[in-house]
Amino acid sequence: MNRAPAPVRLLPALRAPAASRGNAVPAGAWWLWALGLATAASRTTNPLLLGLLVGVAGYVVAARRTDAPWARSYGAFVRLGLFVVGVRLVFSVLLGSSVPGTQLLFTLPEVPLPDWAQGVRLGGQVTAEQLVFALYDGAKLAALLICVGAANSLADPARLLKSLPGALYEVGVAVVVAMTFAPNMVADVMRLRTARRLRGRPTGGIAAVLQIGLPVLEGALERSVALAASMDARGYGRTADVPPAVRHTTNALTLGGLLGVCAGTYGLLAAQGAVYGLPLLLAGLVAALAGLRLGGRRSVRTRYRPDRWDARAWLVAGSGVLVAAAMIAAGGADPEALHPGVVPLTAPVLPLWPAAAVLIGLLPAVVAPLPPSASPVAPKEQA
């Protein structure tokens, strides 16, 4: 009797591997993905698309974030986004809006203002159109903040700063020290509060804060002294001699490049400068990168185990870039779908192909390596 051929197991081959130091997605790839989603959020006020962008970012964070302390910041950004929406609505109610409306909801007592404050009012009529416009505007800013929060939850800040150019390595070290100090101090406070609670001592009040503060400051000073000693032992601050011509060229390229980036960004945002904005921005980026490259010659240091940009990293970064490019193209092809009108007040409609393009942002949840806490345990092979 002939046996049926054994089925080919494709699922283990397609499944994302467990994350390790060698195959982890670089922090820059996560930031490019998140900035792509944020760019897409800045191009629309459609609440359905904004909600879809937030859902994509939240799903990827839930699927690929680790148990590190900095990975728990996504919830704080979500709460910050909701707070921004609430503040935007309150300001619209109190200060009014330039959006004309016909559907009156209620009327607040209006405060008379002097003649020099014409155009500004406090109180008055509140319409449904102005509240919907404020809701759309606040939702766009909230979605942008949440996308940035996704990058903070997925990208290791120390690894991101370690990948800075050599010319900025002193700044990177200072930022790493500052970002490391605050979490350690919070951990010390929580540890001391837990110890006092277990001993039956109060953890609230001025007396408890003073008794906890002294050990926390002492531990922070000890870590600072140890860090300074380790940096001195590794030769921190040493620089190589470079010719004056190279130094002057570096300054000119860096300063000119940054000015070009600022002018190009303004040109992209302004309606009149859209023609020269992109070329000027690209030229400024090239000049700034060349200046940083030359400036790195004065830094005598090596990079320990640099991040590798493999195919998975490029897929993660490319998915965010594709989402941003698709949303920009959709804004030029069908701007009304991305910016639903409020006068007259109509229900927003979900455009199909921009929504499908947003779903490309889910690619990191499939291709990025699984964090240790989410990695499935491989079954033992039977003898």
Q: Domain tally for the chain?
A: 2
Among 30-39, 86-95, 173-182, the minimum mean pLDDT is found in 173-182
Least confident of 6-15, 18-27, 318-327: 6-15
326 and 288 in a common domain: no
Mean pLDDT on 195-222? 74
Predicted local confidence at residue 218, as pLDDT: 77
pLDDT of residue 142: 93
Looking at residue 270, its pLDDT comes to 58
Question: Which residues touch 291 (CB under 8 Å, ≥6 apart)?
Answer: 167, 249, 250, 251, 252, 253, 254, 255, 256, 257
277 with 338, same domain: the answer is: no
Strand-strand pairing, 122-127 and 104-111 = antiparallel
Q: CA nearest 300: which of 231, 235, 227, 252? A: 235
* Lowest mean per-residue pLDDT among 93-97, 323-327, 366-370: 93-97
User: How far are the Cα atoms of 8, 160, 365, 369 from residue 18, in angstroms, in the given order?
Assistant: 22, 21, 13, 5
Instruction: Look at residue 359 and tell me whether its pLDDT is greater than 90.
Output: yes
Please report, to the nearest 10 degrees, the dihedral formed by the alpha carbons of residues 13, 14, 17, 22 taken in order.
90
Q: What is the distance in angstroms between the CA of the first residue and the CA of the last residue of the chain?
A: 25
In a domain, 24, yes or no: yes
For residue 188, is it within any domain?
no
Residue 132 lies in a domain: yes
Looking at the structure, tell me whether residues 126 and 257 fall in a common domain: no
User: Is 216's pLDDT higher than 50?
Assistant: yes
Q: Do 114 and 136 lie in a common domain?
A: yes
Do 123 and 255 sit in the same domain of this protein? Answer: no
> What is the C-alpha separation between 280 and 257, in angstroms, rounded?
9
Within a domain: residue 353?
A: yes
pLDDT over 50 (residue 13):
no
DSSP bridge pairs for 239: 299
Highest mean pLDDT among 28-32, 122-126, 252-256, 299-303: 28-32
Q: Do 322 and 284 sit in the same domain of this protein?
A: no
Q: What angle do CA 304, 307, 312 make, to 5 degrees?
A: 160
Which of 299, 321, 336 is the last residue in one of the domains?
299
Mean pLDDT of 283-299: 78
pLDDT(50) > 70? yes
Give me the pLDDT at residue 229, please: 73
One-letter amino acid at 76 equals A
CA 58 to chain centre: 12
- Assign 370 a pLDDT band (cuts: 50, 70, 90): confident
Q: What pLDDT score does 247 carry?
A: 73
Bigger pLDDT: 351 vs 69:
351
Q: What is the chain's Cα-based Rg?
A: 27
Name the DSSP class of 369: P
Distance in angstroms (rounded) separating the CA atoms of residues 132 and 128:
6
Establish if 37 belongs to a structural domain: yes
Does residue 95 fall inside a structural domain?
yes
DSSP H helices in the chain = 11-14, 27-42, 47-64, 74-95, 128-154, 157-162, 169-198, 206-233, 244-269, 274-295, 311-333, 335-338, 352-358, 364-367
Mean pLDDT lowest among 61-70, 78-87, 319-328:
61-70
What per-residue confidence (pLDDT) applies to 93? 84
Q: Give yes or no: residues 82 and 59 share one domain.
A: yes
Residues 23 and 144 in one domain: yes
Q: Does 148 share its domain with 261?
A: no
Helix ranges (DSSP H) in 106-205: 128-154, 157-162, 169-198
Write down the mean pLDDT value for the chain. 77
Q: Which of 87-96, 121-130, 139-148, 356-365 has the lowest mean pLDDT?
A: 121-130
Look at residue 239 and tell me if it is in a domain.
Answer: no
Of these ranges, 238-247, 255-264, 358-367, the one predicted with the greatest mean pLDDT is 358-367
Q: Which domain holds residue 280?
A: 249-299
Q: Are residues 136 and 47 in the same domain?
A: yes
Res 56: pLDDT: 94
User: Which residues are paired to 18 by β-bridges?
Assistant: 370
User: Running DSSP on this structure, what letter comes out for residue 122?
Assistant: E
184 is a domain residue: no
Q: Say whether pLDDT at 285 is over 60.
A: yes
**Are 46 and 132 a contacting pair, CB within 8 Å?**
no
Could you tell me which residue, 311 or 159, shows the higher pLDDT? 311
Looking at the fold, whether 22 and 142 belong to one and the same domain comes out as: yes
Find the range with the poorest average confidence among 45-49, 52-56, 256-260.
256-260
The whole-number average pLDDT for the span 236-258 is 75
- Both 281 and 335 in one domain: the answer is no
Please say if the pLDDT value at position 8 is more than 50.
no
pLDDT at 294: 76
Q: What is the pLDDT of residue 110?
A: 75
